[in-house]
A and B are shown apart, each in its own frame.
Chain A
């Protein structure tokens, strides 16, 4: 049985000009102990979709979903309080900006202890032991001293480690990491990623890893979802997706990888921007930027359809040879 199963999740935000569809009908399945990567440019609704899972969106957001099952529990039937109790317990999340994600007024130890208190309990002393061992397991040197440190006394990498410790406190079965390394120094990025993968193995967690970085995906994920302007455009196993990308957007993302750079040494970038609320195309959302678009793409909306191994939202999926 899958750990997480999401069917047809949509999120819209009210704006002055009506509803803005930030996430449109996404489906996800994460198996226990599996790493699923979600990739896509800024504004493609990756964070919003995850926050919707965690029920962390502001109340004005309109969330609709046909099925939302986490660890055997139908979340759609739970009250807000019951769902809240799962947060930090069954499912935990870490964010892009570790420095602003920790409360500046409380020590790191205190903030991790809150998670332990909420989900594990125990006396003061036991909990402190627990927090110290969490700090240790995320590779924070001198945990006893760091316990009393305030967030501003820590570097970005250390803060992200603390966030990871906090997320682990409730022994989650699913960890959502929303661009956990984007805000960090390049040298630290690899360390944090490595740590996440090690912990995922150690604690046998499902992991949803959101990233812009196809290179990271290639190294880590078993399953990949490519998201564009709130829609999923391609889903496949990492192996298939990297070897046989079918959607032109996926292909474009892949060709932006350094090791696939053009012989000139230049990284090809995808011209144009993700459509926002006001310039949503009528047909395929990617059509205006697509090198392979045809007349039909501009008027009709392609559906996410199962083709060969994976799922692709495209009328004219690429064959691998076309791309190379």
Chain B
């Protein structure tokens, strides 16, 4: 198992190298440059601009810039944000918990609703519960997130007044030190009455929005995996043993179906990050996604490069985790067969 993980990690290196190059070129291909954005509409003299560019090292040929960038990464230096002059790595990790919290909540909702919905659809195949689940899943899957988020805000926040429009906690009522930056944990540990509830209250709508697409995908995949598994010989064996339908479906069938579903969940993590960018922007959620959008707008080259690299690493680590989990629930893989 350790060898398996080590091999996987080794294979990540070329991919990561590719990502550094892609991120490096991507920011530089955007029209404009950090200095123009920083100095505003009126601009500065050509000489002053050249001076600032030189300060940032942007006057060098691209290949040289890239070389320095790589060299710095290898020594653990991911650069400083041009906008804030803070190390990119600090900027990233101070915002990561907000995104993780949101993504985790979204995934939890997606799995807790998507898996049972898929199971129900499979065992009621061709009947109305199946049609309802599949209809809703198709709608959810094709929903543009931005529009969907605004729609929910209008309904639940503006019209019904049930949920807040933005932010992570009611800042007027509660104050505590950020320790972990996971608001749920910090609020819990602060011991202030109602703080945790307020965090959940703020989290719920963005999490629902972000969960929509993965939930739809998970429901559909669970359904098709269950349908396939329910036709297997060992299901017939389980019934022949006299087990109850509930046990056959929830133990014998589901366990096998989950092998496929876990892979699908893993694949959703990448698109979850894409969804997080939009969701965080809609809900003014102070996470990685919102930070990336701002960094791109400012042409904050080091921030964008570093951010993309870290996100890529995070997605890969999650996929590695899924691989390990996959081996854990699938005995055939565990044995390296």
Contacts and interface: CB of A to CB of B under 8 A. Distances in A.
A152 B233 contact: no
Given A87-B242, A118-B241, A105 B233 contact: no
Interface stretch (B174-182, B261-269, B325-333): B325-333
A166 B232 CA distance: 18
Interface string B302-323: 0000000000000000000000
Interface of A: 51, 54, 56, 84-89, 92-93, 95, 97, 100-106, 114-115, 118-119, 150, 152-153, 163, 166, 170
20 contacts: A56-B236, A84-B239, A84-B244, A86-B242, A87-B240, A88-B243, A95-B233, A100-B232, A100-B233, A101-B233, A103-B237, A103-B255, A103-B256, A104-B234, A104-B331, A105-B259, A105-B329, A105-B330, A114-B241, A150-B331
B47 interface: no
Given A105-B331, A152-B337, 14 more contacts: A56-B239, A88-B243, A89-B242, A101-B233, A104-B256, A105-B329, A106-B255, A114-B238, A118-B242, A150-B331, A150-B332, A150-B335, A152-B332, A170-B241
Interface in B191-244: 232-234, 236-244
Given A105-B331, A152-B337, A100 B234 contact: yes
A93 B240 CA distance: 7
A118 B243 contact: yes
Contacts of A153: 335
B335 A87 contact: no
Most chain B CB within a 10 A radius of its CB, from A97, A101, A152: A101
What secondary structure prevails in chain B residues at the interface with A? helix
B252 interface: yes
Contact of B241 (A51, A87, A104, A152): A87
Nearest to A170: B242
Contact of A88 (B236, B241, B332): B241
B240 A92 contact: yes
A101 B236 contact: yes
A157 to B, nearest CB: 17
A99 to B, nearest CB: 9
B330 to A, nearest CB: 7
Q: 5 closest A-B pairs (Cβ-Cβ)?
A: A88-B242, A103-B234, A88-B241, A100-B233, A87-B242
A305 to B, nearest CB: 34
Given A150-B331, A152-B331, A152-B337, A102 B237 contact: yes
Nearest to B245: A84
Given A118-B241, A118-B243, A95 B256 contact: no
A114 B243 contact: yes
Nearest to B237: A101
A97 B242 contact: no
A44 B241 CA distance: 25
A87 B239 contact: yes
Contacts of B256: 103-105
A51 B235 CA distance: 13
Contacts of B232: 100
A58 to B, nearest CB: 9
A115 B241 CA distance: 6
B240 A103 contact: no
A316 B271 CA distance: 73
B285 to A, nearest CB: 39
B242 A115 contact: yes
A30 to B, nearest CB: 18
A106 B252 CA distance: 8
Contacts of A93: 240
A106 to B, nearest CB: 7
A98 B242 CA distance: 18
Contact of A103 (B238, B242, B330, B335): B238
Interface string B34-66: 000000000000000000000000000000000
Contacts of B331: 104-105, 150, 152
Contacts of B332: 104, 150, 152
Interface in B138-168: none
Nearest to B241: A88
A216 B193 CA distance: 78
A106 B232 CA distance: 15
B227 to A, nearest CB: 12
Given A105-B255, A152-B335, A119 B242 contact: yes
Contacts of A150: 331-332, 335
B263 to A, nearest CB: 15
A104 to B, nearest CB: 6
A118 B251 CA distance: 15
A56 B234 CA distance: 12
Interface in B47-92: none
